[in-house]
């Protein structure tokens, strides 16, 4: 059985991730695409040679279709909540891109609409799906490092203008609301919770716009307190020249685990107890720059969740919590104060 899917927003992430993965999925089938920019649709037709796929300029028309089970929402951030709520109210399951919404109150509304309509709502916290993150989580949960004391994580690259030809909206508060924090930091905020199993309880941060012509932050340096008393430092920015920085390091009672820091997809492990040990695990990456698309299990997993074959790896509350934490980080930076996340 296949989930019949529509894609709302045919920009970069739909082209490299969602559309090809639906096309190659055993559990999903592409029925229709909408983008308000016709050129995007033409790009897709050329690139994928699609047959039997319908196109719409207005997503409301797509949502009226009764032969659709689910949609991917991959439009600019400020539309995530509105489009998701409309889709759920039209009886569709939704996979919405990160950040889930531009306000935590909107994320709450999305969750409430999902519950009322008894649909699936998943947020594409895509980094959870990387094999080295899955493996690291398993090892951390086994207690290999003992008590976690410190986490150091970073996600930085040279900016969305080097990613999408329609990236202008990423730099504006009214269309993105968050800058590097909503684009990149959100992945690591989510991973802190997912990999360690700890909650984030407090933050202090400095954010700024140092380089881009933007009214959102292009640099954020954050210190977080975790629920067991550990500390986490998080850097996210759009000012990193050269190769992107995308790693997660955990310092524990018995050792250190470097996840994707020395080499992408590699985990370095240093233990002092119960025996001195230094080892490494290199997991095959899901895709490399040579691949024409991101071979990730996000779509397959979402479709299987809709079919009730699997339990969701990402709950909608995870998306909400990530937004709430970003709001608190920005509050800390603007008030120059420690902020309690739970207030």
Q: Which residues bind ligand NAD (CB under 6 A)?
A: 8-14, 34-37, 40, 59, 74-77, 79, 97-98, 124, 126, 164, 166-167, 183
In angstroms, what is the minimal distance from the CB of 164 to ligand NAD? 3
Q: Where are the alpha helices (DSSP H) in the chain?
A: 12-13, 19-23, 38-48, 59-63, 80-89, 104-117, 131-141, 173-176, 180, 186-196, 298-306, 316-335
In angstroms, what is the minimal distance from the CB of 128 to ligand NAD? 10
Measured from the CB atom, is 59 or 194 closer to ligand NAD? Answer: 59
In angstroms, what is the minimal distance from the CB of 58 to ligand NAD? 7
In angstroms, what is the minimal distance from the CB of 176 to ligand NAD? 8
Is the Cβ–Cβ distance between 203 and 188 less than 8 Å?
no
Tell me which residue of 6, 14, 61, 287 sits closest to 166, measured CA to CA. Answer: 14
Tell me which residue of 329, 333, 336 sits closest to 201, measured CA to CA. Answer: 329
Tokens 């040990």 found at? 277
In angstroms, what is the minimal distance from the CB of 326 to ligand NAD? 12
Is the Cβ–Cβ distance between 172 and 216 less than 8 Å?
yes
Measured from the CB atom, is 39 or 278 closer to ligand NAD? Answer: 39
CA atoms within 13 A on the CB side of 206: 2
Measured from the CB atom, is 127 or 332 closer to ligand NAD? Answer: 127
Measured from the CB atom, is 36 or 103 closer to ligand NAD? Answer: 36
In angstroms, what is the minimal distance from the CB of 7 to ligand NAD? 9
How big is the chain, counted in residues? 343
In angstroms, what is the minimal distance from the CB of 10 to ligand NAD? 5
In angstroms, what is the minimal distance from the CB of 61 to ligand NAD? 11
Question: Omega before 99 cis (within 30°)?
Answer: yes
Q: CA-CA distance, 120 to 257, in Å (whole number)?
A: 34
Measured from the CB atom, is 46 or 343 closer to ligand NAD? Answer: 46
Measured from the CB atom, is 7 or 148 closer to ligand NAD? Answer: 7
Measured from the CB atom, is 34 or 237 closer to ligand NAD? Answer: 34
In angstroms, what is the minimal distance from the CB of 171 to ligand NAD? 11
176: number of Cβ within 10 Å: 23
The β-bridge partners of 56 are 34
Measured from the CB atom, is 11 or 179 closer to ligand NAD? Answer: 11
Q: What is the DSSP letter of 341?
A: T
The encoded tokens of residue 96 equal: 């919405």
Q: Phi first, then psi: give them for residue 161, nearest 5 degrees.
A: -65, -20
Tell me which residue of 31, 33, 34, 35 sits closest to 4, measured CA to CA. Answer: 31
Measured from the CB atom, is 53 or 271 closer to ligand NAD? Answer: 53
Tell me which residue of 127, 132, 129, 126 sits closest to 268, measured CA to CA. Answer: 132
Q: CA-CA distance, 153 to 127, in Å (whole number)?
A: 13
């Amino acid at each position: 059985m296949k989930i019949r899917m529509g894609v709302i927003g045919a920009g970069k992430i739909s082209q490299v991730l969602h559309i090809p993965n639906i096309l190659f999925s055993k559990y999903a089938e592409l029925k229709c695409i909408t983008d308000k920019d016709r050129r995007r649709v033409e790009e897709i037709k050329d690139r994928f040679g699609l047959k039997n796929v319908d196109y719409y300029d207005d997503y409301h028309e797509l949502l009226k279709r009764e032969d659709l089970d689910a949609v991917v929402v991959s439009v600019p951030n400020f539309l995530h909540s509105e489009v998701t709520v409309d889709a759920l109210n039209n009886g569709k399951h939704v996979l919405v891109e990160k950040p889930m919404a531009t306000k935590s109150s909107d994320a709450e509304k999305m969750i409430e609409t999902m519950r009322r309509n008894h649909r699936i709502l998943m947020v594409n916290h895509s980094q959870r799906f990387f094999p080295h993150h899955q493996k690291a989580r398993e090892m951390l949960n086994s207690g290999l490092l003992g008590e976690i004391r410190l986490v150091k994580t970073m996600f930085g690259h040279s900016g969305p203008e080097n990613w999408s030809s329609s990236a202008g909206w990423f730099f504006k508060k009214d269309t993105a609301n968050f800058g590097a924090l909503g684009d990149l930091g959100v992945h690591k905020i989510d991973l802190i919770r997912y990999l360690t199993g700890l909650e984030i309880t407090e933050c202090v941060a400095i954010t700024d716009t140092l380089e881009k012509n933007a009214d959102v932050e292009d640099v954020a340096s954050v210190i977080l307190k975790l629920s067991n008393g550990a500390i986490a430092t998080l850097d996210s920015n759009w000012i990193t020249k050269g190769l992107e920085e995308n790693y997660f390091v955990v310092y524990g009672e018995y050792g250190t685990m470097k996840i994707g820091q020395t080499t992408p997809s590699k985990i370095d492990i240093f233990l002092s107890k119960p025996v001195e040990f230094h080892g490494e695990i290199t997991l095959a990456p899901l895709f490399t720059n040579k691949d024409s698309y991101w071979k990730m299990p996000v779509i397959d997993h979402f479709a299987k969740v809709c079919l009730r074959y699997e339990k969701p790896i990402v709950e909608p509350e995870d998306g909400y919590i990530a937004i709430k934490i970003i709001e608190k980080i920005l509050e800390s930076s603007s008030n120059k104060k420690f902020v309690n996340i739970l207030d």
